[in-house]
Amino acid sequence: MSSHDPDKVKDLYHTLHSHLPSEPALRVKTIENLLVEKGYLDQQTIDNWIEVYSEDIGPKRGAQVIARAWLDQEFKQRLLTDASEAIDDYGFLGKATAHLKALENTDSVHNLVVCTLCSCYPFSLLGMAPNWYKTAAYRSRAVREPRAVLKEFGVDLDDQVEVRVYDSTAELRYLVIPQRPLGTEDYSQQQLAGLVTRNSMIGTDRDLAKNMGG
């Protein structure tokens, strides 16, 4: 059983609260710096975790799932029926994806995901949530004026395209299956995964043909 020195804990508490600025991001960074300085955290460990979540865990994991769904109709149907069960093929099932629902974009439907109460997000598939996803502006406007929000992301939809907005919760999170770009019939699964963006799996990106290059 680990033991704690009450005086050290008390000293750390007062040190942290006497140095914290008002801006949340700065407060987090200040806490991190103080914990590293006092030996409670290792800076390299923090950097390694950030790199894993931003580069390895996501959004590359989600891109693998989408690419397979484009190539394998049976897998796509499983993904649409029970996304949590389907992604467990890769060992991606976790607390953030235990109740996951996949939403398929089509020529006539575009899906957009938001979390109006906080910032629930399938980070085990998509990595760390982007800052804009957590802002009050996105969380409120995505529901009230989704077309305007999408246009700001460069997604300008015809009136004939229905926009469906899905509100994530701690119990249910969503993954958008973007449309496969035309002209990718000969692409491998790895090449297809390279076209998939994090934003397309949230719904703030739609036309992935732009990632195909010349």
Query: Of the residues 84, 120, 168, 200, which is catalytic?
Result: 120
Residue 2: count other Cβ atoms within 10 Å of its Cβ: 3
| Beta carbons of 126 and 120 less than 8 angstroms apart | no
| Catalytic residue chosen out of the listed positions 22, 108, 119, 200 | 119
Is 115 designated active site? yes
Burial of residue 103 (number of CB atoms within 10 Å: 0-12, 13-18, 19+): buried
C-alpha distances in Å from residue 112, one per residue of 22, 39, 80, 155: 32, 43, 16, 11
Contacts 24+ apart (CB under 8 A), 80-87: 80/104, 80/177, 83/175, 87/125
Point out the catalytic residue in the list 54, 118, 140, 188: 118
22 catalytic? Reply is no
- Which listed residue (115, 124, 168, 200) is catalytic? 115
Q: Which residues are catalytic?
A: 115, 118-120
